[in-house]
Amino acid sequence: MDSRKHPTESSAPSERPPNDFFDPSKPQARRSMAFLALGALIGLGIAGYGLFTAKGTRSHTVPPEDLALINNRPILRSDFMTQVQTQFTVPFAQSTPDERKKVLEDMVAEELQVQRGLEIDLSSFDPDVRAAMVAGVQLEITADVMAQQPSEQQLRDYYAAHKDKYVGEGVLRMRDLVAKNGNALQAMTALRAGAPVEQIMQRYRLEDSGALMDSGHVDTGEIFEFAAKAKLGAAVYAAAALLHGGEISDPIQQSDGVHVVVMLEHRMPAQQDYATAADKVWTDYKSAAQTRVLEGNVAYLRSRADILLSDDARTLEARSQ
């Protein structure tokens, strides 16, 4: 029996494959997964550090520009100093520790209450808070407009484009007489002939309409056009507005009788020149600029808001367009 082993059979122990984990020249799946996991852990560590050290997170130190942090909301040193000077009307350096303590306590109390208001969503149901918030937003939006000073040419251009707004108010003295017995035409003729008003009133039994009464007495003093327009009926004022001093209107039929207007004096409305109207032009120009900015802001806010309207609300929206 041949005791020699076959050449393919070997009694030597089998060799282990070489370890390629740390050999960068050869691809290795386990090495790739290990590095991916390590990178993820490092990223999480960096993110956690940034989260707990970023501005706006809880902090146990007060920044140098702040005097205090209330639930991480700052009370600025500049605001504190201004408040001390305003409340006690002394320079900050001359204020006492007790005065400063009082202001600090007041500012802390105010901040706590503001934060509580935000916490309970006070603006959603308190009309005063909502109005204050709207006013604050509008003030912030228009701050730049109010700070800008229009040029002389801009003001003159605005005046030229809106001349109808700068007409001086007319002033008149008049009597508004009423005939209730059909004598209005005769009374008008007599008045136009120059007969005294009181005499004609007695002869034709005319009465004052009462529209221009003052404390129970007929007011024959000067009255502005806008006041006369408010007191007289539309038809009577329309007739009076065309009359000059000394003129008598045609009879005007009204529900309480036939009116005859006696114009004693009438200074007609006159166009104001730029120099006369300059102050009002400046005010109107700034007001118009504010309105444009506010309307533009509302349009922008609407464009980025999700507004869902009911059917009747959509109908109202359609009517306003």
Name the H helices within the chain.
29-53, 77-88, 97-119, 127-147, 152-161, 184-192, 197-204, 225-231, 234-240, 274-303, 311-320
Mean of pLDDT values over 251-255: 94
What does 82-103 look like in DSSP terms, one character per residue? HHHHHHH-S-GGG--HHHHHHH
* Residue closest to 184 by CA, chosen among 163, 203, 171: 203
Q: pLDDT per residue over 28-43, tens digit each? A: 677 677 767 777 788 7
| 275-302: pLDDT as tens digits | 999 999 999 999 999 999 999 999 999 9
Residue type at 120? I
Going 288 to 292 to 295 to 298, the CA torsion angle's sign is: negative
Residue identified by tokens 């166009």 is 271
Distance, CA of 259 to CA of 206 (rounded, Å): 9
Residue 320: which pLDDT band, with cuts at 50, 70 and 90? low
pLDDT above 50: residue 1: no
The answer to whether 166 touches 272, Cβ cutoff 8 Å, is yes
Q: Give me the helices (H) in 120-183, please.
A: 127-147, 152-161
Would you put residue 42 in left (φ > 0), alpha (ψ -120 to 50) or beta?
alpha
* Model confidence pTM above 0.85: no
For 66, the token pair is: 């702040």
pLDDT tens for residues 82-115? 999 999 999 999 999 999 999 999 999 999 999 9
Query: According to the model, what pLDDT value does residue 10 have?
Result: 47
Mean pLDDT of the chain: 87
Residue 51 has pLDDT above 80, yes or no: no
Tell me, what amino acid is at 199? Q
Which residues, in sequence order, are CB contacts of 214 under 8 Å at separation 6+? 221
Q: At what angle do helices 97-119 and 77-88 cross, to 10 degrees?
A: 120
